[in-house]
Amino acid sequence: MATTDEGTPTTFIKEVWDAVTPRATLLVVGVLGLMIAFITSYAGAFHAPKPTDIALGVVAPAQTRGQLVTKLDRLNGSPLDPRPVASEAAARRQLADRKIDAALLVDPRGNTDRLLVASGGGASLSQAAEAVVGAAEKAQRRSVRTEDVAPADRGDARSLSSFYLVVGWCVGGYLCAAILAISAGARPANGTRAVIRLGALAVYSIAAGLAGAVVIGPVLGALPGSLFALWGVGALTVFAVGATTLAFQGLLGIIGIGLAILVIVVLGNPSAGGAYPYPLLPPFWRAIGPALPPGAGTWAARSVGYFRGNGLTGSLLVLSAWAVGGAVLTTVLAALHGKNGRNGKNGKDGNGERAGEPEPRPA
């Protein structure tokens, strides 16, 4: 039988209880839950990609355009979301503005039509559009020739560099926030300390955004586009994720790190539209992706890289909302925590004396 340091006997159950505390047990159970959620989320999003409602512009003679749009809209499984477009020039503008994913240009004088795609927005999406439209054309005894109007860069063959860049920025954001919080307790002692942590996070975000943009662009040549625009997107992404993590930690303590991983990694990464853009994802992931930082960051990085910054507004608003919301919640929670710490749960101040009571007189 084992004994304690004082020499008194103890049981095996007692040893287990001392070695694995209830708090540690709860944390381990939480890690197990995150692992299961991770597997479920990634496998659920990626195991069976299926095109749904690919935004397709249709340029055709006026007398046949409506009939063709209706026919494409009624394809089995609804792989396309066709809409009429007045001209080829208008279709190219909408592709450049990221309002449509592809455009079918019907040739009324022959049997070969053209399909405009933009693989910079996702190679798998362009391939899916080509396959669906090609099959529909073949059923009408027509053929289609594909033209890539915004091709992925030679160093970014699958248009995944933007996604991996944003994943790196997100990892840096929540790890920096976790270190800032854990270094002196999971919850800031007061509002001043919270502001200092947010300031440190802002400085880190600027450095991290620049570092990522330099590596993905000039160093590796894996993503084209403006270095300064990517820097701005990166800094905002890192700060949004970091501020959100600080807010979760201020709300739940150490468990907040797990919540940040759940939102950013478990839910955010597979729904970001990286490996499979939104029209290829199942409904749940397609719905949440644009509203989470990884999805907004990936969309913004691709817009900078391949679409001259077009279509950025929505994604920047999403990232800004997470950044401002996280910063405000972090500051408010810290201020409340500091006030509670001064007053004490039983009406005591920070020194253990009851608030409002006079100090005892010396005898």
CA angle 207, 190, 21 (to 5 degrees): 90
At 46, list the tokens. Answer: 């990626």
Which conformational region is residue 78 in: left (phi greater than 0), alpha (psi within -120 to 50 degrees), or beta?
A: left
Q: What pLDDT score was predicted for residue 322?
A: 98
Residues 184 and 139 in one domain: no
Number of domains in the chain: 2
Residues 224 and 316 in one domain: yes
Closest CA to 173 of 322, 276, 48: 322
Quote the CA–CA distance of 166 and 272 in Å, as a whole number. Answer: 9
Residues 319 and 188 in one domain: yes
In a domain, 355, yes or no: no
In a domain, 38, yes or no: no
| Mean pLDDT score across all residues of the chain | 89
- pLDDT average, residue stretch 122-131: 96
Q: Are 279 and 128 in contact (CB under 8 A)?
A: yes
Residues 283 and 305 in one domain: yes
In a domain, 357, yes or no: no
Structure confidence at residue 254 as a pLDDT band (50, 70, 90) = confident
- Residue at which a domain ends, from 106, 126, 148: 148
Q: Are 234 and 210 in contact (CB under 8 A)?
A: yes
Residues 328 and 192 in one domain: yes
Q: Are 349 and 342 in contact (CB under 8 A)?
A: yes
Domain limits for position 240: 161-343
- Residue at which a domain ends, from 89, 116, 148: 148
- What pLDDT digit, counting tens, does each position of 26-84 carry? 878 888 999 999 999 999 999 999 999 999 999 999 999 999 999 999 999 999 999 99
- What pLDDT digit, counting tens, does each position of 168-212 carry? 999 999 999 999 988 765 566 688 889 999 999 999 999 999 999
Residues 165 and 143 in one domain: no
In a domain, 285, yes or no: yes
φ, ψ for residue 346 (rounded to 5)? Answer: -110, 30
Residues 193 and 302 in one domain: yes
Quote the CA–CA distance of 142 and 252 in Å, as a whole number. Answer: 60
Quote the CA–CA distance of 36 and 23 in Å, as a whole number. Answer: 20
238 Cβ partners below 8 Å, 6+ apart?
Answer: 169, 170, 172, 173, 176, 204, 205, 208, 209
Residues 178 and 142 in one domain: no
- What pLDDT digit, counting tens, does each position of 305-361 carry? 999 999 999 999 999 999 999 999 999 999 888 776 556 544 443 333 333 334 444
- pLDDT average, residue stretch 146-154: 95
Q: What pLDDT score was predicted for residue 317?
A: 98
Q: What pLDDT score was predicted for residue 22?
A: 80
Structure confidence at residue 140 as a pLDDT band (50, 70, 90) = very high
- What pLDDT digit, counting tens, does each position of 262-278 carry? 999 999 999 999 999 99
Residues 211 and 327 in one domain: yes
CATH assignment at residue 131: 3.40.50
Q: What is the pTM of this model?
A: 0.87
Residues 131 and 200 in one domain: no
In the DSSP assignment, the letter for residue 344 is -
Quote the CA–CA distance of 132 and 80 in Å, as a whole number. Answer: 8
Residues 247 and 276 in one domain: yes
Q: What pLDDT score was predicted for residue 287?
A: 97
**Does 157 score more than 90 pLDDT?**
no
148 Cβ partners below 8 Å, 6+ apart?
Answer: 116, 117, 118, 119, 126
- What pLDDT digit, counting tens, does each position of 78-104 carry? 999 999 999 999 999 999 999 999 999
Which conformational region is residue 213 in: left (phi greater than 0), alpha (psi within -120 to 50 degrees), or beta?
A: alpha
Q: What pLDDT score was predicted for residue 358?
A: 41
Quote the CA–CA distance of 137 and 145 in Å, as a whole number. Answer: 11
CA 134 to chain centre: 32
**Does 3 score more than 60 pLDDT?**
no
**Does 20 score more than 80 pLDDT?**
no
